[in-house]
Amino acid sequence: MIRVSRCVFCNSTAYGKGCRFGPKGHHFHPDDPKKCSWCGSTSFGIGCKLNPNGNTHVHGIDYNPMLKETLKNNFLLKELNRPITEFAAYKLKIIDDNGFKIKEPISEEEKHSYTSAVQTILKIKKYLGSKIDLINHSMVLEQESKMQYNKENHLKLLALEQKISDIYEDLSRTIDTALTDGLSLEQISAILQK
């Protein structure tokens, strides 16, 4: 089976301009070590006209399953940290302030807002309660202990942290838009697991 590289922002196989969600409208493919992640060229060094951060060809790396796992864990943690009042099921009056179901979903929109994935997240959220804050704090401490301060690399780390934060924000906006457009959390999860 041939693995097809896809843009992390819009899931397209195209390179170059035309991405609705990417920086400056450019597609980004970080999973192909043989091609520039921005323009798809096999060249190295200076000459990329699509890299929004400069003119250097940036080659991808073989997709690391740990990165996918991290994205999934961050997505789950984001969902667990989201206030119940921000869930579509709450806004449609399917669940109350505590996440308990108060009426049966009838319309398609209501059914999409209260899928089995949403129900599972609500159950976990209720079960963990205040322990979610402890999980958040322990993750921050774990990340800080892994990072060793190096004065020369500090600015590079900050820039990388900002880029990754921007990618997560773009992913979150894309997921929120998809949920608003009527896609279910299961459908979105299936795409993230590819």
Please state, as a whole number, how many other Cβ atoms lie within 10 Å of the Cβ of residue 61.
11
What per-residue confidence (pLDDT) applies to 96? 92
138 vs 101, more confident: 101
Do the beta carbons of residue 28 and residue 37 sit within 8 Å?
yes
pLDDT band at 193 (very low <50, low <70, confident <90, very high): low
The token pair at 2 is 């041939």
Report the distance separating Cα 37 and Cα 57, nearest Å: 8
Displacement of CA 117 from its chain's centroid (Å): 17
The token pair at 143 is 């990340």
Q: Which of 94, 145, 140 is nearest to 115 (CA)?
A: 94
What are the CB-based long-range contacts (under 8 Å, 24+) for 131-139?
A: 132/80, 132/81, 135/77, 135/80, 136/77, 136/81, 139/77
What per-residue confidence (pLDDT) applies to 64? 47
Which residue carries 């667990």 as its tokens? 80
In whole angstroms, how far apart are CA 40 and each of 31, 75, 105, 114, 173?
11, 28, 46, 40, 26
Do the beta carbons of residue 31 and residue 62 sit within 8 Å?
yes
**Average pLDDT over every residue of 165-188:** 79
**Average pLDDT over every residue of 99-118:** 88
pLDDT band at 74 (very low <50, low <70, confident <90, very high): low
**Average pLDDT over every residue of 172-187:** 80
pLDDT band at 3 (very low <50, low <70, confident <90, very high): low
The token pair at 104 is 């049966």
Mind listing the pLDDT tens digit for each residue in 124-168? 888 777 777 767 666 666 666 555 555 666 677 777 778 887 887
**Average pLDDT over every residue of 47-69:** 71
